[in-house]
Structure 1
């Protein structure tokens, strides 16, 4: 098995004592999320989070000019800002590792323009995330290496670029379930961010990628952070298995309890005669249209154990009429096997032009005007060839059902407002409510209560005796708003857990004079939807 410890062009992870020395130096330097924020100050630190380097660069230069540069200042200048630093400063800031050790590890190199200076060879930045419950207030502190971005080293990104910590990877981490798992799979691991999170609840994690360089970065990050992640650096294979290959090929025939993936889903025009090395591997899976995402919808079942779940991000093409409410999810539904539950939340829709602009800018392909124009035109022609009117982006939750004959969960919704983070606990609770409603098809005998985060909002014209609009709002989770009818408002008002749902519906029918046979079943269906959405919960009996 390849251990990926010495992949060319990536940090080297075979020298365990040197990596342990580096970790000690970084810790002593205060090169942590809080340490960087304290050195830079609020404004410069916020700008750095937007990939705006000038305020941080000025802070580093001012500290150097004043003779107050600290070890954390050297680390910020070198790896976050992309400034060259004197070799002597690196030796002083990282005494166990030294400038020579940084070069040996592949983290820094001599500046070609000034050999007495050291410049970054990679991006190395602190990262932390909460572990356990919020009451425990525990955090895991790490350092994560990836390739330098175009804001640190100008120019079009190399096609083999290994992406670092970004909004997409953070979103996936917040989306992913943290229930105990025997085997988890990180499909398209990149620099390994999802693996760090999976190790907190999975006995064993398999991480795959089509890029050998990505696996080299992942191994380096695992070894550097081994103590914090509970790993033995000499026996990584006991908890983590790194595999090279495309999509599901490296794990064919195996089964996992959980799969997480930020796959290379970016829709990219295909060019006749293109080779794999012509693609940006971190985002382009090499298939036309949304073939990567559709293939995963169809095939992930094959690597899931019964009851196993998937959390992933994706793009999909919208090819129906622009004014059709269901145009965006019609194709997605057709991709799903009958034995898979699915819940898809579309978070954003871009026009073909907006999509082209975003991804050309992402890889800094907008530097050369003629090449930019040709690439832009290729995007528009590609989308037009398939009748694509929009491109959706969102989150996907799937599950292989324990009972293949049971009714599947199929939820496709568009939610563009801010959601609570992390979202995973709310998704898990919502799925539990779906399972509960499937086990309790007749709600008449069930006792329900209003969720703690739910509030009621009433709107009326000035002087009106009754409200014209009644809204039910969630303060947590998906933060939905539900427009209420008079009878549904009355039902919710009576949900204190004392009376069964059937008794409340019967009382409302008598109060409102509704003797029509459709009243009860229709109201019960509305109540069921409120349970699924988390406005109402089963009472604890």
Structure 2
């Protein structure tokens, strides 16, 4: 029997039989982690399978591969996750309900060259922090097959998709949109808190994988297999074109943002569609970014991952601010910057193009020439959050462009929500009259020379979320240390400024002559301290009582 090019269910009974076998085999995320170890599982996400292969080989040799045993689970991991070859009898014993013939009919396995069977798709369990557990199929990865990935490769659950899922601010909504659905992982997370999800992709293969995965997980996703459109609609087309004229409460996208040199006469079949949108430079990201305002309902939010070019001599955020539609709030966090050479090498490795040294060298030169043609100094990567304000509700985020290169918490979504909520709560709030306390995860660090009683630097450090740091002035340090919830922020700021000013006057021989002139400066210092406290409240380092 020849396997189809895509996984496909012909009936609901096919779904149920396969699900029953996967459950009986204990093919869950936790069970796989227990089998291979946490370090090996982390390495797998980075496409480094050696440690997992060693652990699975040990389990396979320990006993018969019957359903429910470690050896049976190892057989599934060996085939579907690691790309190994097994005899038909071993896989049939691990999945007796569907059997090898049934797996071939579903498009999940195929005959291996030289005998035995191998995976036709990558099929692996996924577990999220919110309790969602799924099985997700995608095209086989680089460690499954020799050579370069197929051009219409459908990407599985990788680090980028996990990052976006962890960053997304979750709230109950009526409608959601997933732009560039891929294997469907963002859509499946959206279905947990959206009444209906629309998912788009230019790739017919991607939509087919998403449909297969949605049906395979219909119970977890509360989907009726006989009426999937009631909760999930799949539309083929580029970016936002399939949903023109519609608006959504939440939009997420992990678009094909990789900046790739264009060649004369290229077609869609010449591109890695999972990562390359086919436009010069970062125009695909710009096009999507500029268009998101049209599909956001009032109060609606959009989140995506993106790359952007940084022209020589320009600030990285300048173009991104220009891309943001008028009237939308924007919070953009730049997480990394790569040189053109490093960027080219990274993406040549991603698609295994470096397995052909001659072609890789030629392609590397094309990358550098392409970046040079636009005077690109670096390529930024980061997180994007946009919101269309809703009439009658406070919106305090505005436009924020910041660089955070340090390690941050994951999942980050709940922390982003706290900052957004705090910014909204600050609208119209008289911070000077409010009482604040230092958040429990915040600490101070002092730096100075040994035996010197006066520190040269005091750093305020956030222990979670974006893990922000602030180098404090003497006044700022005094204000933060006094925020215990008993005295309003404005009164604390005035007291701190007065104390520091008195110390300065005592040390100044001309203090009497300067006292009147200093009064105006003192008022400004108090205002600045109150504004600094508001910043700390927004960022979660101070909490309004």
Aligned partner of 1:249 in structure 2 is 241
Aligned partner of 1:528 in structure 2 is 534
CA displacement at 1:62 relative to structure 2:
4.6
Aligned partner of 1:509 in structure 2 is 497
Aligned partner of 2:341 in structure 1 is 353
CA displacement at 1:231 relative to structure 2:
1.6
The residue matched to 2:252 in structure 1 has which SS? strand
Q: Would you say the 8 A contact 1:8–1:213 is kept in 2?
A: no
Matched, 1:378 2:379: no
In the aligned structure 1, how far is the partner of 2:81 from the partner of 2:359?
29
Q: Would you say the 8 A contact 2:396–2:424 is kept in 1?
A: no
Aligned partner of 1:343 in structure 2 is 331
Matched, 1:53 2:49: yes
Q: After the TM superposition, which parts of structure 1 deviate over 6 Å for at least 4 consecutive aligned residues?
A: 404-408
The residue matched to 2:220 in structure 1 has which SS? helix
The residue matched to 1:130 in structure 2 has which SS? coil
Aligned partner of 1:234 in structure 2 is 226
Matched, 1:410 2:399: yes
In the aligned structure 1, how far is the partner of 2:347 from the partner of 2:232?
32
Aligned partner of 1:3 in structure 2 is none
Structural mapping, 1:81-230, within 5 Å: 81-114=82-115, 117-131=116-130, 139-230=131-222
**CA separation of 1:335/1:277 partners in 2, compared to 1, >3 Å: closer, same or farther?**
same
CA displacement at 1:465 relative to structure 2:
2.2
In the aligned structure 2, how far is the partner of 1:287 from the partner of 1:148?
26
The residue matched to 1:334 in structure 2 has which SS? helix
Aligned partner of 1:468 in structure 2 is 456
Summarize deviations over 1:376-429 as a string: whole Å, max 9, x none. 111001100111000000101110112499876111111111111111111111
The residue matched to 1:518 in structure 2 has which SS? helix
**CA separation of 1:432/1:142 partners in 2, compared to 1, >3 Å: closer, same or farther?**
same
In the aligned structure 1, how far is the partner of 2:294 from the partner of 2:113?
50
The two structures have a TM-score, normalised by structure 2, of: 0.91
Aligned partner of 2:81 in structure 1 is 80
Summarize deviations over 1:162-200 as a string: whole Å, max 9, x none. 000100000000000111111011110100001111111
**CA separation of 1:84/1:459 partners in 2, compared to 1, >3 Å: closer, same or farther?**
same
In the aligned structure 2, how far is the partner of 1:64 from the partner of 1:301?
53
The residue matched to 2:292 in structure 1 has which SS? helix
Between Structure 1 and Structure 2, how many residues are aligned? 519
The residue matched to 2:401 in structure 1 has which SS? strand
Aligned partner of 2:425 in structure 1 is 436
Deviates more, 1:150-159 or 1:166-175: 150-159
What stretches of structure 1 of length at least 5 have no aligned partner? 1-6, 132-138
Structural mapping, 1:252-331, within 5 Å: 252-321=244-313, 327-331=315-319
The residue matched to 1:444 in structure 2 has which SS? helix
In the aligned structure 1, how far is the partner of 2:397 from the partner of 2:43?
45
Q: Would you say the 8 A contact 1:444–1:501 is kept in 2?
A: yes
In the aligned structure 1, how far is the partner of 2:451 from the partner of 2:90?
74
Deviates more, 1:163-172 or 1:292-301: 292-301
CA displacement at 1:19 relative to structure 2:
1.6
In the aligned structure 2, how far is the partner of 1:16 from the partner of 1:222?
12
Summarize deviations over 1:23-74 as a string: whole Å, max 9, x none. 1101111111222233334565454444333444444445555544422121
Summarize deviations over 1:426-447 as a string: whole Å, max 9, x none. 111111121122222x422222
Q: Would you say the 8 A contact 1:351–1:390 is kept in 2?
A: yes
In the aligned structure 2, how far is the partner of 1:274 from the partner of 1:91?
44
Aligned partner of 2:479 in structure 1 is 491
In the aligned structure 1, how far is the partner of 2:192 from the partner of 2:303?
16
Deviates more, 1:302-311 or 1:269-278: 269-278
Summarize deviations over 1:199-233 as a string: whole Å, max 9, x none. 11111111111001001000111111111222221
**CA separation of 1:381/1:96 partners in 2, compared to 1, >3 Å: closer, same or farther?**
same
Q: Would you say the 8 A contact 1:469–1:483 is kept in 2?
A: yes
The residue matched to 1:366 in structure 2 has which SS? helix
**CA separation of 1:258/1:453 partners in 2, compared to 1, >3 Å: closer, same or farther?**
same
CA displacement at 1:506 relative to structure 2:
2.2
**CA separation of 1:373/1:454 partners in 2, compared to 1, >3 Å: closer, same or farther?**
same
In the aligned structure 2, how far is the partner of 1:310 from the partner of 1:57?
39
Q: Would you say the 8 A contact 1:339–1:408 is kept in 2?
A: no
Summarize deviations over 1:241-281 as a string: whole Å, max 9, x none. 11111000011111100001100100011111111111111
CA displacement at 1:338 relative to structure 2:
2.3
Aligned partner of 2:17 in structure 1 is 21
Matched, 1:12 2:18: no
CA displacement at 1:305 relative to structure 2:
0.4
Q: Would you say the 8 A contact 2:330–2:386 is kept in 1?
A: yes
Summarize deviations over 1:66-100 as a string: whole Å, max 9, x none. 54442212111211221221112222111110111
In the aligned structure 1, how far is the partner of 2:489 from the partner of 2:61?
73
